[in-house]
Chain A
C-alpha cells in the first residue's frame, strides 16, 4: 500500500507511460530460457532424490519461471511500480492466508492421507 503515499504519485508523474518495452530478440531469449527450465523441471522429476529436495528444487524453478514471465512478458520490470505492488500484494496475501489455512489442518492432524482408500 506504499503506493498511496503522495511521494509515490509524484514519482509516477515523472515517468508517464513510456513504452520502453524490450526488443523481440529479448522476448525470444526469455522464451528459450523458460523452455530450458521447463525441460529441466520435467527431467528432474525423474531423478531419484529425497522428496523434500525435489519439492524445493521444483518450487524454486516454478518461481523463477513465474518471475520471468511477469517481469519480461508482463513488463513489470519496466512499468510503473504500482502494478508490481498490486500484483505482489495479491500473491503475498494469498501465500500468507492460505499458508495459515493449510497449517491449521496439519496442526489439527486431520484425516489420514489417502482417506477412505
Chain B
C-alpha cells in the first residue's frame, strides 16, 4: 500500500540507468515479494487442509457453483481494469471513469460474496478457531480479501482523480501500476480457486 502510494506520487524519471520507470520497477519488485507472501499462506493451507479436528471438512463445506461465480466476477474485473488502461491511453475520460467504476464494483461484488461465504461457513460450524483447516482457510482467503479491498480503495481514488482532472493521458502510470496490483490479486485468486476449492482432499 505504502509502496504503491509512493510509487504513484513519485516524480517522473525520464532518465534511469535501465530506461525503466522507477515506480514500475518498484511495483514489480513488490509483486515478486508478494509471491512469497501468498506462497507461505497457500502452503500452510495445503499442510492443514485435512486437519479438520471435529469441524467440517473442506468438501463438506465448499459451495463450488457459488465460488465459481464469484471467481468469474473477479476474473472479469481484470478485463474492465485493462480496458480502463486502454481508455486512458487514448484519452477517453468518460470511458476511463466507467471502466474504473465497473472494476471497483466487480471487486465489491467479490468481497460481498466472500463476506456471505464466510457467514455461511460460520453458521455451518467452521470458524477461525474450529480447526487448523479453519484457521488456514480464513486467514488465507481473508488476506486475499484485504488485498482486494485495498485495490478497491485505490480504484476509487483513481476515479476521484479522474473526476478532479488529475488523471490525464499524459501520465497514465497511476492506472497502469494500480492495474498491475489488481491483476496480481486476480491471479492469486486463480491459484486459490484451483488449489483451495477445486483440488480434492483425501478425506
Asked whether the complex places CB atoms of A and B closer than 8 A, the reply is yes
Query: In A94-117, which residues have CB < 8 Å from any B CB?
Result: 94-95, 97-98, 101-102, 105, 111, 113-117
Smallest CB–CB gap between B103 and chain A, Å? 12
Smallest CB–CB gap between A26 and chain B, Å? 10
A90 and B32 within 8 A (CB): yes
Complex Cα distance, B200 from A59, in Å, reads 12
- Judged by a CB distance under 8 angstroms, whether B129 is at the interface is no
Whether A114 touches B47, Cβ cut-off 8 Å, given contacts A62-B190, A74-B183, is no
- Judged by a CB distance under 8 angstroms, whether B187 is at the interface is yes
Query: In B16-55, which residues have CB < 8 Å from any A CB?
Result: 17-21, 24-25, 28-29, 31-36, 38-40, 42-43, 46-47, 50-54
Chain A, residue nearest B65 (CB): A42
A58 and B180 within 8 A (CB): no
Smallest CB–CB gap between A74 and chain B, Å? 5
A82 touches which of B25, B190, B198 (Cβ 8 Å): B25
Whether A69 touches B53, Cβ cut-off 8 Å, given contacts A16-B19, A31-B79, A90-B36, is no
Complex Cα distance, B29 from A38, in Å, reads 29
| Residues of chain A within 8 A of B131, CB atoms compared | 116
B86 and A98 within 8 A (CB): no
Complex Cα distance, B29 from A83, in Å, reads 8
- Judged by a CB distance under 8 angstroms, whether A91 is at the interface is yes
| Residues of chain A within 8 A of B180, CB atoms compared | 74
| Residues of chain B within 8 A of A61, CB atoms compared | 194
The listed residue with most A CB atoms (<10 A of its CB), out of B34, B78, B200, B203, is B78
The listed residue with most A CB atoms (<10 A of its CB), out of B29, B42, B68, B79, is B79
A to B CB contacts below 8 Å, 6 in the list? A66-B190, A70-B187, A83-B28, A86-B32, A87-B31, A117-B203
**Given A12-B18, A69-B186, 14 additional A-B pairs, CB 8 A:** A16-B19, A24-B83, A34-B75, A58-B194, A66-B191, A69-B78, A73-B81, A87-B31, A87-B32, A93-B35, A97-B39, A113-B50, A113-B203, A114-B50
